[in-house]
Structure 1
């Protein structure tokens, strides 16, 4: 890795710590500003994401190697150097010399710590199995306790290790009639059980994405659409639709359905509209901005739908390896607050479901408080609804991102 990329990594991590921005957004901004080629962008992402993923373990190592608490810059550079030397197999001489060059007045300290890490790499690693599991696998203590209570220690460790791995790229194909892409040059392979998906094993031709032939999406998202069971000419509401991946899946499952896709944010509606335009779905999907917990537009006040997909805002604990910021943004009280919002949305949307219709509640969370407990609370208040089907995807078992979905049927009176 070139010195300039290490410097960019340090600056990106500084901005991540100070601004509250998402790492993926900062990576995109940095790559665009510096006009990085794919190889350099990948190198930048690899280092930055490794530091964020292993943050708690790295801070433990720093506490054992440094007597006094380092300042923010020094801590950041030590995290970078240690993760390269102990977890990414970086070239020792380059790691030390280029990291030290960024350290300013702390050059001596950074040099000493990193050289010690080189000398004692094997003894340092040998202590890791004895560490508390939440430190070893870099999980915030409060989140680890929730996982232990819900999944037990073995499955919690499997989940934590899953989250530390780089996420593969899956693509949902959406090919125009008569188009047969060159799968060989694209380096993709089929995904068993998911005929619309391929897994990328190398660079994807830009044409695939620019022409709307494919959409990056994990196969776990298909479960919610399967539960929806859309029939021809059904009226369908995708209530929290942006960025549009599940809307695309609905279109593919029932091209003749009458679909309305909404989202509460103007920016997200712009993103939704652009994605559906690129995917050639904008002519068959109506798009509107609507916060379903606020005053409804006149056209929606009395609207009823045969099918409603409610993919609610959630903790994202099922997709941590893709959204690496999640563990460091969540707070213990967030789960209760999210449950209130989720149940409120479910209550509101239930009033827009036609008799005998299906409402599918879905999240990308693994947490029972956001999933089963929300569904149970809703059914307890609404005897006119019944649970038709329910499923969850556990990453350490199923091999895909975590997800939950439940289909609720409104009985006719």
Structure 2
């Protein structure tokens, strides 16, 4: 993936026009950036239809296309040294990072494999997890640090060695509680562990150069010397390695005024974007480790301060959210059980949510084996609540694996009725009945369907939830790989699939039935544009409520829209 690529805004798929903005927002729910309502459950509840006829072309067709997930990243490790089972956190972390880079799979898929392969002790697992996710998440930042410390061009450094250097640089610059001497010596030893003694001298020199870059001083805000840490904190570097976000080296104006006054130009892709003469976008991309094209795209909607806030949110570990299984217990009882066990927990913003601020083994929490809770972010919990299925209804959950939202629907239905969960991944769909069994839910059936939903069950259904495949731009902290796997041209393909799923769902809905269309994206192309196109192609659909959830207000970002069809009078 080219990290500095400036891509064009995708145009909402084969069905119509490009859009630069995102329709109306109900603004309800915490984390919503616009509109009224406020508080949980607010929003625009007035029924309305999509745009006038004639603004869209033909609806998209069902056809198989290559999945964007198969694209090879630019830093893929094409030749990997033999990796023995890891016995320490750093060994497991490096083995995981190399395996993921070699196979182009998600890192979490390899992390559990490497932990098991090396029989890593439980006490070492939190560090291994932090190192893996931290290196992937802050790749751009680490590469900027290494570029200032390494005395040879990156293309002359073996990819596997560069990954080892990233791992060391992360410990020295961004990982709290790790002593410099331990980070350097243990990382250098990883070369010997891989049988590459010839790496050790070079790695030692590079990592010692990193320590000379990092100071113990803090700095108030963005600058070429400012390394963002977490939770709004910056560390001062001994030399400038980032672009100047202030506009010019002698600028004394505010960052935001320079950002807002930057010129708008039409780039080579024929779209408007900010000319980054001041370096504000480059600073965000490198210092907060986000692809340049995403930062450029977001700059059309968010000012510089908001971009920094988003950068901090996506790089700061967020509280772990649990959803209480209301059929097994209630929140107060579960909080009391946690307190008895010495676990610090607090009530979340939603009636059945609990937050844990400290990392913990979920399967070792009181109540896990009894099915009293499930892990689910608060923004994701809103989707099933918005659909509000009733006991005894026939309900469909599209793109259901691993079943977190499916089980929420079943709980809201009080385990009465019929709930069909579909997904295009047979292996992931197998997780749905496993989760349902632990939670004591018996009304869930499963069915494998194609990605575009051409073969989903015929129905008719009284309620349908579509948790659509998306770019994941609202959850880049929780899914660190996502920021590097998506490209701007993928948004067009995703929006095409999303519209197909929404149209297929509308065709299987009973008169007066309800649909909730939900994504983990904050891109209008995947959200309001898709919903409005669906309303055009299916005129009986009405938009009842929309929620645009901006990341960082106690939960991740996303989009949810409640639609219904006209009832037969």
The separation in 1 between residues aligned to 2:238 and 2:408, in whole angstroms, is: 45
Distance 1:127 1:257, change over 3 A: farther
Q: How far does the alpha carbon of each residue in 1:350-398 deviate from its partner, in whole angstroms, 9 at most, with x for none?
A: 10011111111111111111011101111122221111001122112x2
The separation in 2 between residues aligned to 1:294 and 1:251, in whole angstroms, is: 22
Moved more, 106-115 or 176-185: 176-185
Q: How far does the alpha carbon of each residue in 1:116-137 deviate from its partner, in whole angstroms, 9 at most, with x for none?
A: 2223422636636755221110
Q: Which residue of 1 aligns with 2:99?
A: 15
Q: Which residue of 1 aligns with 2:389?
A: 230
Q: Which residue of 1 aligns with 2:247?
A: none
Q: How far does the alpha carbon of each residue in 1:185-218 deviate from its partner, in whole angstroms, 9 at most, with x for none?
A: 1614233431212112443535533332211111
Aligned match of 1:214 in 373, 390, 407?
Answer: 373
Distance 1:333 1:177, change over 3 A: closer
**1:151-190 map, 5 Å:** 151-174=302-325, 177=328, 180-181=333-334, 182-184=337-339, 185=341, 187-190=343-346
The separation in 2 between residues aligned to 1:175 and 1:222, in whole angstroms, is: 13
Aligned match of 2:421 in 249, 261, 274?
Answer: 261
Q: Report the TM-score, using the length of structure 1 for normalisation.
A: 0.91
Distance 1:120 1:363, change over 3 A: closer
Aligned match of 2:126 in 39, 42, 45?
Answer: 42
Q: How far does the alpha carbon of each residue in 1:232-291 deviate from its partner, in whole angstroms, 9 at most, with x for none?
A: 42221112211111122212222134322222222122111111111111x222333333
Q: Is the 8 A contact 1:307 1:353 kept in 2?
A: yes
**1:1-400 map, 5 Å:** 4-68=88-152, 69=154, 70-89=157-176, 90-103=178-191, 104-122=197-215, 124=237, 127=240, 130=243, 132-174=283-325, 177=328, 180-181=333-334, 182-184=337-339, 185=341, 187-202=343-358, 203=360, 204=362, 205-206=364-365, 208-255=367-414, 256-281=416-441, 283-291=442-450, 293=452, 296=455, 300-301=457-458, 303-396=459-552, 398-400=553-555
Q: Is the 8 A contact 1:292 1:348 kept in 2?
A: no
Q: Is the 8 A contact 1:362 1:406 kept in 2?
A: yes
Moved more, 136-145 or 249-258: 249-258
Moved more, 193-202 or 215-224: 193-202
The separation in 2 between residues aligned to 1:382 and 1:325, in whole angstroms, is: 35
Shift of residue 294, structure 1, vs aligned partner = 5.5
Q: Is the 8 A contact 1:313 1:338 kept in 2?
A: yes
Give the total of aligned pairs. Answer: 407
Shift of residue 96, structure 1, vs aligned partner = 1.6
Q: Secondary structure at the match of 2:480?
A: coil
Q: Is the 8 A contact 1:292 1:349 kept in 2?
A: no
Q: Is the 8 A contact 1:9 1:48 kept in 2?
A: yes
Shift of residue 220, structure 1, vs aligned partner = 0.8
The separation in 1 between residues aligned to 2:497 and 2:238, in whole angstroms, is: 43
Q: Is the 8 A contact 1:188 1:198 kept in 2?
A: no
Distance 1:142 1:178, change over 3 A: closer
RMSD: 2.3
Q: Secondary structure at the match of 2:546?
A: strand
Q: Is the 8 A contact 1:230 1:257 kept in 2?
A: no
Distance 1:127 1:406, change over 3 A: same
Uncovered stretches (5+) of structure 2, i.e. residues with no partner: 1-85, 192-196, 216-235, 245-282
Q: Report the TM-score, using the length of structure 2 for normalisation.
A: 0.67
More helix by share: 1
The separation in 1 between residues aligned to 2:148 and 2:429, in whole angstroms, is: 48
Moved more, 240-249 or 64-73: 64-73
Moved more, 53-62 or 93-102: 93-102
Distance 1:338 1:176, change over 3 A: closer
